[in-house]
Amino acid sequence: MLNTEKILILFSDNSEILNAVKKGIGAKKTVFMTSDSFSLFKFLENYTPTSIVLDLTIKDRLNAQFWENSNIPVFPLNSKEEVFSDDFSQRYMDFMDSKENQNPVRFEINHSQKNSDIKPQKKFTPVFPAKTNEDAGKFSPEGNSEIDFPKCLSVFAGNSQLITDFKKRLLVAANLDTTILLLGETGSGKSTAASVIHELSSRKEKPLIPVSIPDIPITLVESELFGNEKGAFTDAVARNGFVQLADNGTLFLDEIGDSELAIQKKLLYFLETGNFRKVGSGKLLHADLRLIFATNANLKQKIREKEFRKDLFYRLTKFVIKIPSLKERQEDIPFLCENYLKKVGAQKFLSPLALEKLCEHDWPGNIRELENVLERAIIDSGDREIITDASIDLLDI
């Protein structure tokens, strides 16, 4: 159950302040951030937080009705820089221990705003405590400042440092016309990352050809990749392979770790020269394309087991991008949930208990698993506007 004694509300829309509050005074609390009155009122209907930290730069968004009825201690922040000061945590504790917080803090609020005018803008964003003090200390205001990423990168929702660094690396990769290796768990978004790199690259006007190696029968992998001549094998008709189809564009080879050694040898030759031969032909052909590889396998282990070529490994690892797992960036789960609910057009939002349940799960299936859980929750919640924790079925295996 959600312990209301450990809830702190941050009324702000600034992710830097959110992370600083989490580090400074939210280490043992669940911090909920919102920036509009509607969400605040909805929350306070069911929960009583220990305090509200108010970003005074957006105080006018609060309706005067809140101040007339609230007896919740309100700790004011006059500026963003204030939360980065060394004594921020101590000042908050002194405030909570003093009699000053017994009376509602009064500010000059826009009294012309009527309660009926309040419309939802942004739902609560819970940020759960760092698991260790070391983790909590990793935040720095400079490192987590907001960046104006291209729109196509919004598919990787969140504002954690991990996802921010990952998106920066995708931008670098897009501007390099070189081989890329994407490493990530199943369901983490490897094919999506490949699409983003292509869309932001100089080859975006040419085709992106995605190929899943395990989906091709072993005996047909070579002809599928490089094409074949008529009569090359039983019932074979002349055809171009994926390499030719992707000429001047991008070829994405997923799960390269599952490929056979014979195919790895031919891929190595193509990577080194840009040349290839169709099955059943001696004619040397050439293609100019960018190759993006992906795998969830441990390629170094496969090399030790003689299942992957060391020379190909060195060719693939010119530029490596590790996709963060959902377990590593649980603070992004609320953003991912909000994005998914918008994407499917669900006029619903998650209760604090539902969000807590989602944020505490390990997510072995990553984004794919999260979206499946949310889809089931939407169906289970029926006509209800709020998705409760009872509708969150995690199907632990």
Single residue among 306, 322, 338 that ends a domain in this structure: 322
d(CA 308, CA 322): 19
Q: Do 340 and 257 belong together in one domain? A: no
Q: Which of 216, 226, 199 is nearest to 255 (CA)?
A: 216
pLDDT tens string, the chain, 397 residues long: the values are 344 456 777 777 776 777 777 777 765 666 777 766 666 766 676 667 778 888 877 766 665 555 555 677 888 887 777 777 777 888 888 877 775 555 444 444 443 444 434 444 444 455 444 444 343 333 333 334 446 788 888 888 887 889 989 999 999 999 999 999 999 999 899 999 999 999 999 999 999 999 999 999 999 999 999 999 999 888 889 999 999 999 999 999 999 999 999 999 999 999 999 999 999 999 999 999 999 999 999 999 999 999 999 999 999 999 999 999 999 988 888 878 888 888 898 888 788 788 888 988 999 999 999 999 999 999 999 998 889 899 999 986 5
209 strand-pairing partners:
251
Single residue among 146, 181, 202 that ends a domain in this structure: 146
Q: Do 181 and 307 belong together in one domain? A: yes
pLDDT of residue 353: 82
pLDDT of residue 108: 44
388 Cβ neighbours under 8 A, 6+ residues apart? 351, 353, 354, 381
* CATH number, position 294: 3.40.50.300
Q: Do 51 and 142 belong together in one domain? A: yes
Helix axes 333-343, 366-381, angle to 10 degrees: 60
77 strand-pairing partners:
55
Q: Do 252 and 311 belong together in one domain? A: yes
Q: Which of 233, 210, 231 is nearest to 220 (CA)?
A: 233
Q: What are the tokens at 227?
A: 């094409």
Query: Which 3 state secondary structure label does DSSP give 262?
Result: helix
Q: Do 345 and 279 belong together in one domain? A: no
What is the residue range of 357's domain? 327-397
Q: Do 156 and 100 belong together in one domain? A: no
Q: Do 103 and 236 belong together in one domain? A: no
Cβ atoms of residues 109 and 59 within 8 Å:
yes
Number of domains comprising the chain:
3
Helix axes 88-97, 15-24, angle to 10 degrees: 70
Single residue among 146, 180, 196 that ends a domain in this structure: 146
pLDDT of residue 356: 82
Q: Do 115 and 210 belong together in one domain? A: no
Q: Do 173 and 302 belong together in one domain? A: yes
d(CA 202, CA 200): 7
* CATH number, position 337: 1.10.8.60
Query: Which 3 state secondary structure label does DSSP give 87?
Result: coil
- In degrees and rounded to multiples of 5, residue 27 shows phi and psi of -60, -25
pLDDT of residue 138: 34
The type of residue at 327 is K
Q: Do 45 and 7 belong together in one domain? A: yes
Q: Do 40 and 164 belong together in one domain? A: no
pLDDT of residue 169: 95
The dihedral sign for the CA sequence 348, 352, 354, 357? positive
d(CA 380, CA 128): 26
Burial label for 199, CB within 10 Å (0-12, 13-18, 19+), is middle
d(CA 5, CA 352): 14
Q: Do 11 and 41 belong together in one domain? A: yes
Taking the model in full, what pTM does it have?
A: 0.68
